[in-house]
Structure 1
Amino acid sequence: MMSQSPPVAIERAYQKWFSPALNRDMEMLVFGSGGVPVLFFPTRAARFYDLENWKIIEAMRERINDREIQVFCVDSVDQESFYSARSPDQRILRHLQYEQYILTEVIPFIRKRNKSKQLTVTGCSLGGYHAVNIGLKHPTLFTKIVGMSARYDLTKPLPFFADLFDGYFDENIYYNMPNHFVPGICDERLLQQIRKIDITLVIGREDSFLADNERLSYALSNIGVPHKLYIWDEEAHRPRYWREMVKLYL
């Protein structure tokens, strides 16, 4: 009887540089060497290495090794923005600096190493918020958006989840909460760009963010944006569910 050969290791590269946008060092893990690039945001309070630790990268092993996808796991600054002790106006400004880091540093880094014309953006929980928010705000940069178990209005208090701006609201917050700015999109050129993106929202039936996802889906439908909303049984807000979701939707 022939013994099975061990699985082929996933190609893995660690990256670190000083970010001018954030004025601090930022780290990243890159898995694979070709295929459609996938920009993957971490969950709330998680780090760039947690997707690997939670076996979510392992769930994509075959596609990574077959050069179907190349996964770029970025770090976050959520503890310095949404979950910091700063004043609410400074929390959203720190988030905007993080967005500039993604736009002016991470995406050019991806483009330099991967010549694909496609770019997927995704994340789980708060990472799903990051993915959907930046994807809808900058639709010419992305060809696919996948938001898993995400919340799309951080200003709305929910059971076990606070308003992350303590009742404060300004224009910066408005334009970074999909459930606020999406219903108001009326520029036809912008709509045409968004309509070209493959958009998928995934949420558990018992997840606290179910209504948030249904609200965003309704808003997208109202402005004529094709998308898919998948509602899973149970809460589906754990790594064991995300390991299955990435197989189905990425």
Structure 2
Amino acid sequence: MLVFGDEGYPLILFPTSMGRHYESKDRGLIESLRWFVDQQLVRIYCPDSIDHHSWYNRHIPPAARAYNHTRYDQALLHEVLERAVQETGIQRVAVAGCSFGGYHAANFAFRYPEKVSYLFSLSGTFDVRFRLDGHYDDNVYFNNPVDYMPGNKAAALWRMGIILGVAEHDVARAQNEHLSAILASKQISHWLDVRPNAVHDWSWWKEMLPYYLSLIK
């Protein structure tokens, strides 16, 4: 994990599919957030993914892929989040991610809404079933937002700041519209931000995330 900033609101920033902890730095996303870091408004935590051991690993059984993600989820909860809370003194963190990182951010936020104050998903996807060759079990259900969110009654969801950012010509647009409809049906306040004439690309994410961070109160 890389950490940027000495003080500020804790932001856990997930990499894209099979991405590493240094991806956001190497791709220029951290540079796009430099003003917030320099002004000590945000402290950014960039953990590794283990997608190559979980959802993206076609060399192990689907049940093992889902199980491996549950272990990653527990590491995020008990190591990354607890460290961020301890270091910043702020009890509810913000989470963000681009592409499959948007899945990780959304899934973590919706599983632990009492610990997450803001969710910024950029071109995220929210249905992992296509990675599992037809397999389905509790580990899949409880890590697949489009499945468990309709029945999720956690009160903290209604006080979370949620932005689903997506491009007009984005491969993930339909999934964002689907998740937005689920949230709307539950009267959970959120913003589906569809960027006109945009595509699924880092250049747009580097414009979107700084703006979303500026909305933190």
Q: Same fold (TM over 0.5)?
A: yes
Percent pairwise identity:
32
Match of 1:43 among 16, 19, 25: 16
| 1:78 to 2:41 alignment | no
Residue aligning to 1:150 = 124
Q: Match of 1:133, as an amino acid?
A: N
Q: Match of 1:113, as an amino acid?
A: E
Does the 8 Å contact 1:41/1:122 carry over to 2? yes
Q: CA deviation at 1:235?
A: 4.8
Q: Match of 2:202, as an amino acid?
A: P
Q: 1:79 to 1:63 in 2, by over 3 A?
A: same
Q: Which runs of 4+ in 1 moved over 2 A?
A: 233-236
Q: CA deviation at 1:117?
A: 3.6
Residue deviations 1:5-27, cap 9 Å, x none? xxxxxxxxxxxxxxxxxxxxxxx
- Paired with 2:6 and 2:208, the residues of 1 have a C-alpha distance of 22
Match of 1:134 among 100, 108, 112: 108
Residue aligning to 1:91 = 65
Provide the aligned length of Structure 1 versus Structure 2: 212
* Structure 2: gaps spanning 5 or more residues: none
Match of 1:224 among 184, 187, 195: 187
Residue aligning to 1:65 = 38
Residue aligning to 2:134 = 167
1:168 counterpart SS class: coil
Does the 8 Å contact 2:92/2:114 carry over to 1? no
| 1:213 to 2:176 alignment | yes
> Taking structure 1 as the reference length, what is the TM-score of the superposition?
0.82
Bigger fraction of residues in helix: 2
Residue deviations 1:35-87, cap 9 Å, x none? 10100010002111010111111111111000011111110100000111110
Does the 8 Å contact 1:220/1:226 carry over to 2? yes
- Paired with 2:85 and 2:186, the residues of 1 have a C-alpha distance of 31
| 1:180 to 2:147 alignment | yes
Q: CA deviation at 1:200?
A: 0.5
